[in-house]
Amino acid sequence: MADTQQLTNYAQFNVLTVTGRVFNTKLVKTKDGNEFLSVSLISTLTKNGDEVEFTFTNNNGIKALFAKGFLPTGRELTITGHISTCGETYEKDGETLLMKRPKVHMTGVQILDGGLGATPKKKVAANNVVPVKAKSAQAPVVDETPELEEDGMTQEERELALADY
């Protein structure tokens, strides 16, 4: 029997979990006035190895995290989603060029529990001094200095000492 039957090529359930650092986040407006979030995450494949850029878009939960300030550049993030496309070249002026790092676009991306990692440390001044706001501008309360007699005792101490006899 000849192999004349053609099979439909269905998408496989390719799920990928990646941990990396937020490289870029941008709100994009569509022509019809809606907006979505575009995110780029950079992950290093091996110790001191090559980097790969993972991109995805979102218009609900992850976009809400961005709006609340939870996705600053440099934040460690673990995402899970489906691989949509992969590439490492692009065309410009009719010429095929190599990207700085390969790019994997993902769909259906989620940040599971524990997926929001460390945020970058705040920058410290060159002299390692962190500015701190003072709580009040009032001068501190200073107790009055007691006067000492020749024997080194205050009048109050002398009276207490005499009362014991």
Residue 162: exposed, middle, or buried by beta-carbon count in 10 A (0-12, 13-18, 19+)? exposed
Is the model's pLDDT at 159 over the cut of 80?
Answer: no
For 108-128, give the DSSP string.
Answer: EEE--TT-B-PPPPPP--TT-
Q: What are the residues whose beta carbons fall under 8 Å from the beta carbon of 26, sequence distance 6 or more?
A: 37, 38
Nearest alpha carbon to residue 41 among 94, 80, 3: 80
> How large is the average pLDDT for residues 128-151?
70
Q: What is the pTM of this model?
A: 0.67
Is the model's pLDDT at 107 over the cut of 80?
Answer: yes
Q: Which domains does the chain have, with CATH numbers?
A: 15-110 (2.40.50.140)
pLDDT digits (tens, 9 = 90+) for 1-13: 556 678 888 877 8
Q: What are the residues whose beta carbons fall under 8 Å from the beta carbon of 116, sequence distance 6 or more?
A: 65, 70, 75, 77
> How large is the average pLDDT for residues 116-122?
86
Helix or strand holding residue 136 (H, E): none
